[in-house]
Structures are given as C-alpha cells and as structure tokens.
Amino acid sequence: MADVTQELETRIVTALPGAVVQVSAHGGGHFSIEVKSPLFAGKGTLARHRLVLSAIAPLMAGDGAPVHAVDKLVTDE
C-alpha cells in the first residue's frame, strides 16, 4: 500500500506544484487525503476537489484500480 500512497502524493504534487500532501491508507483501496496549496487561493471547495481528483483519476480507473475510494478529502490554501 505504501507504493500507492507515494504514487498518490507524487501525482498531486506534480499537478499542484508546491502543495503539501498527506495521504493515509485505510485498507481495501480506501484513502484519506489532505492537501494544502497556494494554487487553491480564490477557489471553492468543489474546484479544489476537482483539481486533486483529476490528478489521481488514473489510479481510480478500471476494475483493477489501486484506489477504490477517497473517503476523506481536505483541501486548504
């Protein structure tokens, strides 16, 4: 699960340079993600979540995807 956690962090930081990311695995492909990024300034919660989820979408695609669900997503400036 550590590899998937690292891949999530890498994809988010790549999409949002300068972001501080914390990912916690809960088993069964479930994760909690917290992201702080100056790129969130002036954006609402939905726009922030879209930025993060679009960065990790390839890890959630298909039947054998390593990420089954993001149980908690916290975004802040």
pLDDT at 3: 95
Q: Domain map of the chain by residue range?
A: 2-76
The CATH number for 2-76, chosen from 2.160.10.10, 3.40.50.300, 3.50.50.60, 3.30.300.90, is 3.30.300.90
Quick one: three-class SS letters along 1-59? CHHHHHHHHHHHHHHCCCCEEEEEEEECCEEEEEEECHHHCCCCHHHHHHHHHHHHHHH
Residue 2 has pLDDT above 80, yes or no: no
**Mean pLDDT of all residues in 9-23:** 98
- For the stretch 26-57, pLDDT in tens is 999 999 999 999 999 999 999 999 999 999 99
pLDDT at 66: 96
Residue 65's closest CA among 34, 31, 33? 31
pLDDT at 1: 65
pLDDT at 46: 98
